[in-house]
Structure 1
Amino acid sequence: MRIAMFPDDYLPDSTLVHAKMFHELAIELKRLGHEAIIITPSHGKQAEHLKIDFIDDIEVWRFRNPPMRGQGKIKRLISESLLSYNSYRALKNFDKLGTFDACINYSPSIFFGALMHWFKKKQNAYIYLILRDIFPQWVIDEGIISPRSPLAYYFRFFEKLNYKSANSIGLMSQANIDYFSKFYPHISNLQVLRNWADITPYNSSLDRNIRKEFSLENKVIFFYGGNIGHAQDMGNILRLVKKMKVHKNAHFLLVGQGDEVDLVLKTKLRDNLDNITFLPSVNQDQYKQLLLQVDVGLFSLAKTHKAHNFPGKLLGYMVQSLPILGSVNEGNDLIKFINDEGAGNAFVNGEDENLFNAAVLLFKNKSYRIAAGLQANRVLKESFSVEAAAAQLIETIGKK
């Protein structure tokens, strides 16, 4: 089959987990004999409406679109809103467009829905929506916008268009399907599609030795990599950082970008948190090198979340056999999953003492860290391989 894939960010510059996931999926689809083409925004200046390049023999079409992340909320909204328009403008007269058997759309963003509708109507393409954020519901849950605000109605319009255009919608767990169905009981084309990763551990010489660079040679490093925003509630991690100051050889490394970077930097300065280092986003190769040098993988989700997210960053930790530590919203089945599998420790956001005690255990007990990391890697191989995700997608699309 000929398959178009629509992540809103992509390699080599993106640090977002889904950019890496889509690249791994494209490689696996190609290995299976399909033609997979990535169609993604340029995120900045580009002379042509459409530019073609190749990464690991995967063909990438970048359409001209303003940058989205790190630009402030208003600029991001404008840029995301233009995704379907600018991609259609670049593709409509493109001589290599041809016909696609299927389109794989990733949400967030919600703004590719109009383009998916066009592909479905004009080419009879099968549209598979990989739904990873039930947006705008989570920003309403967070109190960031009112459910009756003009902005909420604007987002709801594009959200519904996204769902309407999809032949199938893949959510990351049964709990997420149950949650989604409370809001959209009339939508039945749902299935569980877990996050995935290339399960081959990364092994490379280090271009950047962070232990030497930041004098962390004898430290146990707790690592957080990815989006640093409201949905992640960085205050949750910062409370842990503050409590862990009593353990001089425990250090926290945060890497990424987002709306709460200023919170991290201001809190570090205000509370004299010398046990935390912040780095801006790095590319995927640099990110993988960081994972080779740290000891524990951190994650966090805001307590007001209602959906049951499985943060994609966990897969990167699991590939490198890192134990997992973090906290999420109440009722999230990720807590039971991590704890029951012995892959680390997970709690409800707000259970600060439990999170602290688990961090101390991981800090002090190297044998426990290693054992939990090995369990995390075992779970990855059993349940989150890119081969399993690709096979499920092809089977579903093939039924059209």
Structure 2
Amino acid sequence: MNLVLIIDDYLPHSTRVGAKMFHELAVELHLRGHRITVITPDFRQKAALSFDEIDGITVWRFKSGPIKDVGKICRASNETLLSYRAWGAISHLVKPETFDGIIYYSPSIFWGRLVKHIKQRCRCPAYLVLRDLFPQWVIDAGIMKKRSPIAKYFRYFERDAYRQATRIGLMSDKNLQLFRSLHPNYPCEVLRNWADLQPVKKASADYLSVRQRLGLQDKVIYFYGGNIGHAQDMANLMRLARSMQQEEKAHFLFIGQGDEVQLINQLAQQWGLNNFSYLSSVSQDEFRHILADVDIGLFSLSAQHTAHNFPGKLLGYMVESLPILGSVNQGNDLQEIINQHHAGFIHINGEDEKLLSSAKALYHDISLRRKMGRSAYTLLCKEFSVTSVAQLIEKSLEDNHASV
């Protein structure tokens, strides 16, 4: 099949987990014999449309305003225009026979118009990979009022994105249940997050590791990599770092971008943390080498969430056989999955003493870290392989192609 994949952020410039996951999916589908085109915005380019190729994947980049790491109004304005700018740039290239199926990724919620245009012209099915129930989580966090005009605005585009999908894939059973309670009329299923199962290759002899660069050679490194924003409740992990100061060799390393970068640096300064380092985003290749050099993978989800997310960053930890340590909102089935498979320790956000106790257990027992790390990789291979995800999406598109 000729498949088009649509996402708001892609390699090689992106440092985000979603971009990495979508590229892994594109490569797997390509290896399965499909011809893959990715459509994605690029605010850096001057031309309305540009073309390049990555690992055999054709990429169409259309000119857009910035939508990452900018103010909320600027981001909302530019995201609203994504479909219009994309279709304006590519419409002359899309013929009835150009594409046999569409796979689009949310966030963003603003791809509905573009998907509709391609569906109508090519008469093909569309699969929505839904990773973020926006604006629901923003409403849960109290950032936006449920019945406010801006919430209604976002809901309109959210529903439009869902309406275009022949099928919708959500990341967990609990998320599927929540989605069906909020949006009962859409065909949907569980589509877990995924990862390439191959650990990073050993770096060259002249590679300067993050331990060497930061002087952490003898430290036990608790690592957080990814979005640093309201949805993560980063103060939760900063409290853990403060409580672990008494452990001489414990060090917390955070890498990423987002709305709470200023907060974590302010807290580190306010609390006088000498066991904390922050680095801005790095390339995907560098990120994987860092993962291979740390000891424990951290994550946090806000206690206010009603959605039950499975952060993509966890898969990167699992690929490198890192034990997982983190906090989730009440009822999140991620807690059961990780704890039952002995792949780490997951607690409810707010259970600070339990989180601290688990952090200390991993700090003092290297054999426990290694055992849980191996279990994390085993769980990854069993439940989160890119091959199984590609097969599920492929079957859905093939089954629905005749009925479009």
TM-score by length of 2: 0.97
Q: Deviations over 1:74-120 (max 9, x none)?
A: 11111111110110111012378952111101011000111111112
Are residues 1:365 and 2:365 paired? yes
Separation in 1, partners of 2:94, 2:341:
51
Partner of 2:6 in structure 1?
Answer: 6
Separation in 1, partners of 2:85, 2:96:
15
Separation in 2, partners of 1:98, 1:218:
59
Separation in 2, partners of 1:95, 1:134:
30
Q: Deviations over 1:185-240 (max 9, x none)?
A: 222x1111111100011113163311111110100000000000000110110110
- Indicate if the aligned counterparts of 1:329 and 1:349 stay in contact, CA closer than 8 A: yes
Partner of 2:112 in structure 1?
Answer: 113
Partner of 1:41 in structure 2?
Answer: 41
- Indicate if the aligned counterparts of 2:97 and 2:122 stay in contact, CA closer than 8 A: no
Q: 1:1-400, aligned counterparts within 5 Å?
A: 1-42=1-42, 44-94=43-93, 99-187=98-186, 189-205=187-203, 207-400=207-400
Separation in 1, partners of 2:10, 2:208:
23
* CA gap 1:5/1:95 in 2 versus in 1, 3 angstroms: closer
Give the drift of 1:58: 1.2
- For the residue of structure 1 that corresponds to 2:93, the secondary structure is coil
Separation in 1, partners of 2:95, 2:126:
20
Structure 2: gaps of 5 or more residues: none
- Indicate if the aligned counterparts of 1:224 and 1:254 stay in contact, CA closer than 8 A: yes
- For the residue of structure 1 that corresponds to 2:217, the secondary structure is coil
Separation in 1, partners of 2:326, 2:96:
44
Name the amino acid aligned to 1:222: Y
Name the amino acid aligned to 1:131: L
- For the residue of structure 2 that corresponds to 1:23, the secondary structure is helix
Count residues in correspondence. 398
- Indicate if the aligned counterparts of 2:96 and 2:123 stay in contact, CA closer than 8 A: no
- Indicate if the aligned counterparts of 2:30 and 2:56 stay in contact, CA closer than 8 A: no
Separation in 2, partners of 1:97, 1:353:
59
- For the residue of structure 2 that corresponds to 1:105, the secondary structure is strand
- Indicate if the aligned counterparts of 1:116 and 1:165 stay in contact, CA closer than 8 A: yes
Separation in 2, partners of 1:121, 1:229:
37
Give the drift of 1:295: 0.2
Separation in 2, partners of 1:151, 1:62:
29
Separation in 1, partners of 2:99, 2:26:
15
* CA gap 1:244/1:53 in 2 versus in 1, 3 angstroms: same
Give the drift of 1:358: 0.2
Give the drift of 1:45: 2.8
Separation in 2, partners of 1:228, 1:382:
29
Separation in 1, partners of 2:95, 2:120:
19
- For the residue of structure 2 that corresponds to 1:372, the secondary structure is helix
Give the drift of 1:388: 0.4
* CA gap 1:218/1:89 in 2 versus in 1, 3 angstroms: same
Q: Deviations over 1:274-311 (max 9, x none)?
A: 11100001110010011011000001100001111110
Q: Deviations over 1:237-284 (max 9, x none)?
A: 011011011112000000000000000111111111111100001110
Separation in 2, partners of 1:133, 1:95:
29
* CA gap 1:90/1:97 in 2 versus in 1, 3 angstroms: farther
- Indicate if the aligned counterparts of 1:91 and 1:97 stay in contact, CA closer than 8 A: no
Separation in 1, partners of 2:188, 2:12:
32
Separation in 2, partners of 1:138, 1:12:
29
Which region of structure 1 is more displaced relative to structure 2, 118-127 or 377-386?
118-127
Separation in 2, partners of 1:97, 1:71:
37
Q: CA RMSD in A?
A: 1.2
Seq. identity, %: 49
Separation in 1, partners of 2:298, 2:96:
42
Give the drift of 1:54: 1.0
Give the drift of 1:70: 1.1
